[in-house]
Amino acid sequence: MTAKRERLKLGILASGRGTNLQAILNAIDAGSLAADARLVITNKPGALAADRAIDAGVPHQLLNHRDYENRLAFDAALVRALRAVGAEWVVLAGFMRLLTPVFIDAFAGRTINIHPSLLPAFPGVNAQKQAVDYGVRLTGCTVHFVDKGTDTGPIIAQRAIEVRQADDPDSLAARLLPVENDLLVDVLRWIAAGRVGLHDRRVTISAESPE
């Protein structure tokens, strides 16, 4: 699969503060990302990401996962909501839920996630704490396609930062966050430009076309 050049129709899922969501909305507003945010879905009442969407005039919907019988029912509701607004690509921007095949198959090859480590190192939750506890000297962030594993999907791009001697998980997370923001928006720009291909789990990034 190779994405054609298009204005991306985005659905964005978030669970918390929404800093990566804000980076996407800022890039769209500045005209540096050819995308439309069709819908922001949060799964936790009171998530700051909802306020960010509302402030930007982007449609928002709260789908509390606790209101559903099981993960499959919740994921089916996510799919219905995204399809209703014509979303074609989905961004997990700090979405703290594991997705089931109900969702993954509905947006196969069109769902991306930002994770705060250099995958395959430190998947899952508390990646910055894992990095500090393990004593690594480099960590970073990864944007990858979402598959049916936990942070195991094909990697699109990564960026690294130094882990300092004085770092704790909070200080490391704070320094990594702007790097995450920039990388996620850059990858979305590549997708919008038709530069990202996915073939049998192998990701290719084509050269930027001259203007």
**What confidence score (pLDDT) does residue 131 get?**
98
DSSP string, 11-56: EEEESS--HHHHHHHHHHHHTSS-EEEEEEEESSTT-HHHHHHHHT
Band of residue 70 on the pLDDT scale cut at 50, 70, 90: very high
Instruction: Average the pLDDT over 167-177 and give the result.
Output: 97
Band of residue 1 on the pLDDT scale cut at 50, 70, 90: very low
Instruction: Average the pLDDT over 147-166 and give the result.
Output: 97
Q: What percent of the chain has pLDDT over 90?
A: 94
Q: Given 65, 115, 144, 199, which residue is catalytic?
A: 115
Checking if the pLDDT of 4 tops 90, the result is no
Checking if the pLDDT of 54 tops 60, the result is yes
Band of residue 208 on the pLDDT scale cut at 50, 70, 90: confident
Q: How far is CA 153 from the centre of its chain?
A: 12
Instruction: Kindly list the structural domains of the chain, giving each domain's residue range(s) and its CATH number in brackets, ordered by start.
Output: 8-118+142-158+176-205 (3.40.50.170)
Q: Is 60 annotated in the active site?
A: no
Mean pLDDT of the chain: 95
Checking if the pLDDT of 209 tops 70, the result is no
Give the closest residue to 158 by CA, choosing from 114, 94, 205.
114
CA torsion, points 208, 203, 10, 34, in degrees to nearest 10? 0
Instruction: Average the pLDDT over 107-130 and give the result.
Output: 97
**What confidence score (pLDDT) does residue 3 get?**
42
**What confidence score (pLDDT) does residue 2 get?**
45
Give the closest residue to 115 by CA, choosing from 39, 71, 180.
180
Q: How far apart are CA 172 and CA 139, in angstroms?
A: 9
